[in-house]
Amino acid sequence: MCGIIGYIGKQKASPILINGLLRLEYRGYDSAGISTIEPEGLVVMKDKGRVKNLYNLKGIKDLKGTIGIAHTRWATHGKPSKENAHPHQDNSKMFSVVHNGIIENYNELRILLENNGYKFYSETDTEVIPNLIHYYFSKDTIEENNKTKFLRAVRNACLDLQGSFAIEVISSLFPENMIVVRKDSPLVIGTSDDEKYISSDIPAILSYTRNFYFLNDLEFAILTSNSVEFYDTNLNKITKSVQNIEWNASAAEKDGFDDFMLKEIYEQPTAIRETIGSRISTDYSCDIEGLNFDKNYLNTINMIYIVACGTAMHVGLSAKYAFENLCKIPTQVDIASEFRYRNPIINEKTLCIFISQSGETADTIAALKLAKKHGAKTIAITNVIGSSITREADYSLYTHAGPEIAVASTKAYTSQLILINILIIYFAQILGSCNDSLLLDLKKEILELPKKLEETLKCDTQVKSFAQKIYQEKDIFFLGRGIDVATAQEGSLKLKEISYIHSESYPAGELKHGPIALIENGITVISILTDSKLVEKTISNIQEVITRGAKTFVVTSQKMNYNMFDEVVKIPETNTFLSPILSIVPLQLLSYYISKGKGLDVDKPRNLAKSVTVE
Ligand code: F6R
């Protein structure tokens, strides 16, 4: 939610900031703004709408300052407007601030400040921050006017804030410095010899540096172009080491594809190959670096919770089948925002697995903290090294999908699926809970999957031409049985997100208990059939909708009479537990081409943002 970028160095800041904002637009795109330190003081320029509106503002190209902060907004408090866009300033225009997150007690703080003579010009929660900094700065009676006083004012202001925040502050009084801080909202500092780049997301600044500092909650960094000092909440100096990120800059470019989403769909064979890595070796041994579970411990687990949001939660729905069948451990899948408020039964015999591409999803992190508080062991599956979730979880397992830029998740999903299946195999192997030949078959299949995924992508043209027939529809249904229900849910979510077509997904056998009332002549029903044990039953359910006039699109790895259906996409056969990794691909492409057919912005669908760092 919202993107933050900052620069402090020797070059003009504004082009670097605009470039960074363009890369961050997938985090929010309601309005954008920048503030730089110019010879005459702080300058703020902002506008409603996309970054290109900001870029076209008169005077923006004349900015010469070499220190600046910038923001692209996903509105929470206050409608998208120029007034509500960041940066915000205090009344005396001494401080400029950009902020990601939500200040929960902003009303209370606003009243306090108003009682002290401060005026407010926006509807945002953020505007309290620069004014609070000014309040503490002007009240500070210590006879010094150096960066320590600046830091103290920012620290005092932050201690008053409840909620989540990643903040950048610059001041006309301290033209050499920038202060940044975070709590429950991502912020990274990229560093090279005499330049510093700040961002809410690694990919936005990957073309400048691969060396990063990661801040923990309520750690403050005070930057100059060639130094970064870190402080804890008590303003004691702390040391941090630089971490090198392996992602290369071109991974965050479109590389000739029209959209990031299509590029990322096509990157899936590589992404899963990288994620498998050496976790399953060619001699079919399975090991997960960083995990050292033994049979005694695994035997004590009486419940596995898989907790996540959206697409990541659908990974859990697929994995539940394999955990229960192969490891014989009861497994429950929870939506993170529900889990945290439903008093789940958690104790030291519970294992909780949290899945999050970004590693920054507020609900998932809150659920993780809750699980830890009740004594559960926690594993995070994430794509982003150094993300918040990795600092909270007992164990962090990384997918190696590379940066995922499109809002609609594709390669992260299939990488998460492969990783969780490897985890399941690792558990089953230690537990001895399923027969060796099945485990061997699964390992062999996993090593085959990158090739099978490449094969699956060949359905592109077929799917595209079907999308051209149905892109104007208003409602589309997705059906599946068993593990295919999870794929139906994910296919339906993908379609909603980027095509704005209403869609429902149902277990095929549930249809006749209500939803079949919605089936009418010409409606499209998409079915996924990968489980040989259930295929006949699903076909019967499809017959029921055909009888009522539905158009049918089938994704299957199974042999059957294809003539019954309007369109059949044949995908390679694999073990049922792994089949969602292949069966989702035609559905990703279908959503993509429907969205393109409607002329929509595939990568930046309305109302959505890539990383949901608010509750
Ligand atoms: C859908 C999508 C979202 C995310 C969800 C969780 O395409 O991307 O549903 O899966 O917001 O995000 P992460 O995985 O970053 O926790």
What is the per-residue pLDDT across 492-533, written as a single tens digit (0 to 9) for each? Answer: 999 999 999 999 999 999 999 999 999 999 999 999 999 999
pLDDT per position as a tens digit, 362-407: 999 999 999 999 999 999 999 998 888 998 999 999 999 999 999 9
Measured CA to CA, the distance from residue 27 to residue 49 in angstroms comes to: 13
CA 318 and chain centroid, separation: 19
**Helix axes of 484-499 and 580-597: crossing angle, nearest 10 degrees:** 20
Could you tell me the distance, in angstroms and rounded to a whole number, from the CA of residue 354 to the centre of ligand 1? 12
What's the pLDDT at 36? 97
Measured CA to CA, the distance from residue 414 to residue 432 in angstroms comes to: 26
pLDDT: which is higher, 24 or 160: 160
Residues with active-site annotation = 2, 610
382 CA closest ligand 1 atom index: 14
Ligand 1 site-directed mutation target among 409, 420, 608, 615, most atoms within 8 Å of CB:
409
Residue 463 CB–ligand 1 contact under 6 Å: no
Ligand 1 site-directed mutation target among 337, 357, 414, 489, most atoms within 8 Å of CB:
357
Residue 530 CB–ligand 1 contact under 6 Å: no
What's the pLDDT at 387? 87
Residue 396 CB–ligand 1 contact under 6 Å: no
Ligand 1 site-directed mutation target among 314, 361, 413, 591, most atoms within 8 Å of CB:
361
Which residue puts its alpha carbon closest to atom 13 of ligand 1? 356
pLDDT: which is higher, 125 or 78: 125
What's the pLDDT at 375? 96
Compute, in degrees rounded to 10, the torsion defined by CA atoms 441, 334, 482, 429: 20
Measured CA to CA, the distance from residue 451 to residue 453 in angstroms comes to: 5
Could you tell me the distance, in angstroms and rounded to a whole number, from the CA of residue 356 to the centre of ligand 1? 7
What's the pLDDT at 4? 94
Could you tell me the distance, in angstroms and rounded to a whole number, from the CA of residue 551 to the centre of ligand 1? 30
Residue 408 CB–ligand 1 contact under 6 Å: yes
Measured CA to CA, the distance from residue 209 to residue 190 in angstroms comes to: 6
**Helix axes of 436-456 and 580-597: crossing angle, nearest 10 degrees:** 20
Q: Which two tokens stand for residue 510?
A: 């549930």
- Per DSSP, helices labelled H in 533-574 are 535-547
361 CA closest ligand 1 atom index: 16
What's the pLDDT at 609? 78
pLDDT tier at 246 (50, 70, 90 boundaries)?
A: confident
Residue 487 CB–ligand 1 contact under 6 Å: no
Sheet holding 227-231, edge to edge: 88-89, 95-103, 163-171, 178-183, 219-224, 227-231, 237-238
What's the pLDDT at 1? 66
Residue 492 CB–ligand 1 contact under 6 Å: no
| CA proximity to 402, closest of 546, 271, 241 | 271
- Mean of pLDDT over the chain: 94
Contact 529, 555 (CB under 8 A): yes
Measured CA to CA, the distance from residue 306 to residue 427 in angstroms comes to: 15
Q: Is 160 helix (H, G, I), strand (E, B) or coil?
A: helix
Rg (C-alpha) for the chain, rounded Å, is 26
Contact 202, 196 (CB under 8 A): no
For the chain, how far is it from start to end, CA to CA, in angstroms?
11
Q: Is 263 helix (H, G, I), strand (E, B) or coil?
A: helix
Could you tell me the distance, in angstroms and rounded to a whole number, from the CA of residue 389 to the centre of ligand 1? 14
Q: Which two tokens stand for residue 442?
A: 């699964």
pLDDT reading at 580 higher than 90: yes
Residue 384 CB–ligand 1 contact under 6 Å: no
What's the pLDDT at 28? 66
Residue 81 CB–ligand 1 contact under 6 Å: no
Measured CA to CA, the distance from residue 460 to residue 450 in angstroms comes to: 17
407 CA closest ligand 1 atom index: 8
Q: Which two tokens stand for residue 149?
A: 């006083």
Sheet holding 31-38, edge to edge: 41-48, 31-38, 67-73, 3-8, 195-199, 188-192, 211-214, 243-244
Cα 83 to Cα 46, 78, 280, distances in angstroms: 8, 9, 54
Ligand 1 site-directed mutation target among 311, 318, 487, most atoms within 8 Å of CB:
311
- Dihedral sign, Cα of residue 321, residue 327, residue 328, residue 329: negative
Could you tell me the distance, in angstroms and rounded to a whole number, from the CA of residue 325 to the centre of ligand 1? 27
Could you tell me the distance, in angstroms and rounded to a whole number, from the CA of residue 245 to the centre of ligand 1? 22
Residue 383 CB–ligand 1 contact under 6 Å: no
Residue 497 CB–ligand 1 contact under 6 Å: yes
pTM above 0.85, yes or no: no
pLDDT per position as a tens digit, 465-482: 999 999 999 999 999 999
Buried b (16+ CB within 10 A) or exposed e, 240-259: eeeeebebeeebbbeeeeeb
Could you give the percent of the chain with pLDDT greater than 90?
84
Residue that has been written with the tokens 């909780």 in this structure: 352
494 CA closest ligand 1 atom index: 7
pLDDT tier at 74 (50, 70, 90 boundaries)?
A: confident
Residue 356 CB–ligand 1 contact under 6 Å: yes
